[in-house]
Structure 1
Amino acid sequence: MNEPSEWARPDDRSPEQRRDEPQTAPEQQTPAPPQNQPYPPQYAPQGGQWGPPPGQRPGWRGTIRPGVIPLRPLGLGEVLDGAISFIRSNPKATIGLSAVVAAIAQLPQLAASLVFGVATLPNPEDAARDVDRYLEDVSGLIGPLLASSLLGFLVTSMLTGLLIVVLSQAVLGRRMEIAEAWRAVKGRIPGLLGISILATLGVSAVLFLGLVPAFAAIALDAGPGSILGLLLLGTLAGIAGAIYLGVSWALIGPAYVLEHAGAIASFGRSRRLVAPQWWRVFGTLLLTTVLIAIIGEILALPFSGAALAVSDDPLSGQLSPLGLVLTALGGVIAGAITTPFQAGVTGLIYFDQRMRREGLDITLQRAVGG
């Protein structure tokens, strides 16, 4: 097993075939690599092969827990608990790295707010008096927001790739330093950003396609009732299609980073892993989104309250410089907790689906000598 990510690559054999494979004779077994190596042995840069422990059947599937999860298919509670354990087991590489990335994402927006003030939506009544000025104000608001959102999206995508690699070690009971994670992922960062953008564009395109019939009805001067009906149905269909694609593509990051799948192939790989249990994955991701929203609000609330308290006219939406700094600090702290939690859940869904469908737990048990 000399390829860099061989343990992560799909095995076409069924779990039953893997269990029934001939047992390696003890004298043919290769000694285990050192436990402090930065990668799982099956994709360690220096290579190294693993066989089952002496006297142990290769297909043994007893439950062991060397790291943040037991090496067997997971329940919902175990996925959420594993994500929390992932953060607690290596706070420097999870919370610390996430805080740095969240700060990078917050700095441009904070600097713009300190220099130009908090951007507010122009009054629609101004459009009746000066349409050109109103449109100029709206474009001046949207531009910085889009730039800030794009920067946040890119750095969060990069962070997710780093955290997925750290999680792959935490599953095996090992810790990975930030520098080690960067060395493992840096070659995949451009592709990771690319597939993240492609996925976003794909989901957005489905949302837009749902509105095409309504736009066509408007162009054909259809009646208001027809336009409204098509708009409502198209919106619902677009949302449903976007959710379906978003869930089906939820595992493109782990597939691309851990399996070294191709950029386009990672979309199909994610869909194949998710499809048999789409509703289960959807429910887990939905619950995670709700939890993240609640946790983020709870963490940011004290800073938001303090920002209002130190501002002279908070009701107008204009915060003092100290208030802006406090608000940004709250966003950094919330992101430092919620981002690794979300990455942990996504990564553990990936491991769970592969253990259920491909017997990955057998390979992982061998990797830790279980």
Structure 2
Amino acid sequence: MTSPSGNANHAWTPASRPGIIPLHPLSFGTILGKSFVALRHNPRVLLGFALCVQVAAYLIVSVAIGGIAIASFSRLDTMPMGDDYWAVFWGSTAITAAAGVVLGLAAGALSVVVQAVVVAEVAYAAVAEKRTLRALWAQIKPVFWRLIGYAALVSGAFLIVFVALAAGITALGFVLLPLSIALGVVLILAAIPLWLWLSTKLVLVPAVIILEDMTVRGAIARSWRLIRGRFWSALGIIVVVSLTFAVLAQVVTAPFSIIQVAISTILSPTGETDVTAIIAIIVSTVLAQALSVLVQSVALVVQSTAACLIYLDVRMRHEGLDLDLLAYTERRDNGERELADPFRQNVGRVLPRATPATAYGTPVLPPPYIPPAAPTATGSAWTPPGAVSSSVTPPVENGPPHA
């Protein structure tokens, strides 16, 4: 007995499971919207891991800076006031500030590990796969030190440029203070667009390292090439996400600042030390920092998700990654095993440029107007009605023959 379709050899197979994004080039709104909702796909791995790393980095940096500050400033307890006292004071301040900058950059380098986990998870969530943290770490482990090296390279370059400019402006300030202030303002204003431009051009580097197993140098060059044609869209997404969480952080922490002022005013109106006021201020400060870390963790996940979606979008547009992902999901859902990684296939493929077709709904234009052809000349002039044309030979009358 044959099937209604007339072919008994083809068994029915269910449709492929949809991922977190449609498998075709993405619009600006799709990337921006999916960056915020992708967290729901695997919150335990994404948000849980990000929180653990952020809390650990925050505690390590805080304890380290506190220890360095105590060790540096404790010498002032046994020193009398004088030139040596202020020399030690400013030296301790410089040491603590330098340690804070270095440790802050080191903590920022750890955030690339969170970004790696998010990129790996979101990339495979696009083909409806949810992976465990163990599986994600197995994929990230071979490129871990490359990611750390890239983060250290960016942080080191930023630190060198910052120190060089700060030293130059400070040295100029001893000679021409107004000029140094004006130069500092100009450099700060110029650094903002430069930083946004570089951040956008390099936004795909972690995704390229993780998903394509490239070197740091190759990933930088490939990110530079892939982002062409989508630069302004990527820049807009980065700016919108960053501003959103900057405003959210202020909204979350502002009430605790107001609470601290209110507590100190109500419980200690005369400025005297009160144990209850101190405890209340400490508790509110801890809560504010906890919420700040939570917001930073969510922001890191969303920013990393946006970077991964931008990567998927540009590869779909330039290299036809959507075709590879569709073929991968079809073979997987048909029961095939040992499938090749779709993100490492056809890397750098150049698609032929298609001829643009007429979109559905485009009004059909009328054919172009063709004027009628001129009448063909017959060689005869116009003759009024009733007149005999000169071109017509009159008939010959039949008469008797001439004699």
DSSP 3-state at the match of 1:246: helix
- Matched to 2:101, the amino acid is L
- Matched to 2:321, the amino acid is L
- The alignment covers a number of residue pairs equal to 300
- Matched to 2:219, the amino acid is S
Alignment of 1:47-58 (within 5 A): none
The alignment status of 1:135 with 2:104, answered yes or no, reads no
Computing the radius of gyration from Cα coordinates, the structure with the larger value is 2
Could you tell me how far apart the structure 2 residues matched to 1:237 and 1:330 are? Answer: 33
More displaced, 276-285 or 348-357?
276-285
Alignment of 1:337-356 (within 5 A): 337-356=298-317
Alignment of 1:131-170 (within 5 A): 131-170=86-125
Picking from 203, 206, 212, the partner of 1:259 is 212
1:286–1:128 Cα change, 3 Å: farther
The alignment status of 1:271 with 2:224, answered yes or no, reads yes
Could you tell me how far apart the structure 2 residues matched to 1:76 and 1:338 are? Answer: 19
The alignment status of 1:195 with 2:147, answered yes or no, reads no
Picking from 82, 104, 108, the partner of 2:34 is 82
- Matched to 1:365, the amino acid is L
Contact 1:93 1:177 in 2 (8 A): yes
Picking from 182, 189, 199, the partner of 1:246 is 199
The Cα shift of 1:94 comes to 0.9
The alignment status of 1:95 with 2:47, answered yes or no, reads yes
Could you tell me how far apart the structure 2 residues matched to 1:304 and 1:266 are? Answer: 43
Contact 2:172 2:180 in 1 (8 A): yes
Could you tell me how far apart the structure 2 residues matched to 1:169 and 1:94 are? Answer: 13
The Cα shift of 1:146 comes to 2.1
Alignment of 1:278-289 (within 5 A): 278-289=231-242
The Cα shift of 1:265 comes to 0.8
Q: What do the CA deviations read for 1:67-101 (whole angstroms, capped 9, x no partner)?
A: 11111111122112212232001111111111111
- Matched to 1:66, the amino acid is P
Contact 1:165 1:257 in 2 (8 A): yes
1:338–1:217 Cα change, 3 Å: closer
The Cα shift of 1:190 comes to 1.0
Contact 1:161 1:185 in 2 (8 A): yes
DSSP 3-state at the match of 2:216: coil
1:97–1:234 Cα change, 3 Å: closer
Could you tell me how far apart the structure 2 residues matched to 1:214 and 1:106 are? Answer: 31
- Partner residue of 1:178? 133
1:329–1:116 Cα change, 3 Å: farther
Could you tell me how far apart the structure 1 residues matched to 2:324 and 2:318 are? Answer: 13
- Partner residue of 2:292? 331
Could you tell me how far apart the structure 1 residues matched to 2:219 and 2:327 are? Answer: 26
Contact 2:61 2:104 in 1 (8 A): no
Could you tell me how far apart the structure 2 residues matched to 1:140 and 1:127 are? Answer: 20
The Cα shift of 1:243 comes to 2.8
Contact 2:19 2:128 in 1 (8 A): yes
Could you tell me how far apart the structure 2 residues matched to 1:361 and 1:269 are? Answer: 19
DSSP 3-state at the match of 1:364: helix
The Cα shift of 1:207 comes to 6.5
1:309–1:76 Cα change, 3 Å: farther
DSSP 3-state at the match of 2:228: helix
- Matched to 1:103, the amino acid is V
- TM-score (normalised: structure 2): 0.62
- TM-score (normalised: structure 1): 0.67
Could you tell me how far apart the structure 2 residues matched to 1:246 and 1:210 are? Answer: 20
- Matched to 2:205, the amino acid is I
Contact 2:23 2:322 in 1 (8 A): yes
- Which one has more relative contact order, counting CA pairs under 8 Å at least 6 apart? 1
- Partner residue of 1:49? none
- Partner residue of 1:364? 325
DSSP 3-state at the match of 1:368: helix
Unaligned runs of 5+ in 1: 1-31, 33-52, 54-63, 119-125
Contact 1:192 1:253 in 2 (8 A): yes
Could you tell me how far apart the structure 2 residues matched to 1:150 and 1:226 are? Answer: 30
Could you tell me how far apart the structure 1 residues matched to 2:314 and 2:127 are? Answer: 17
Could you tell me how far apart the structure 1 residues matched to 2:262 and 2:62 are? Answer: 18
More displaced, 97-106 or 229-238?
229-238
Cα RMSD (Å): 4.1
Percent identical among aligned pairs is: 21
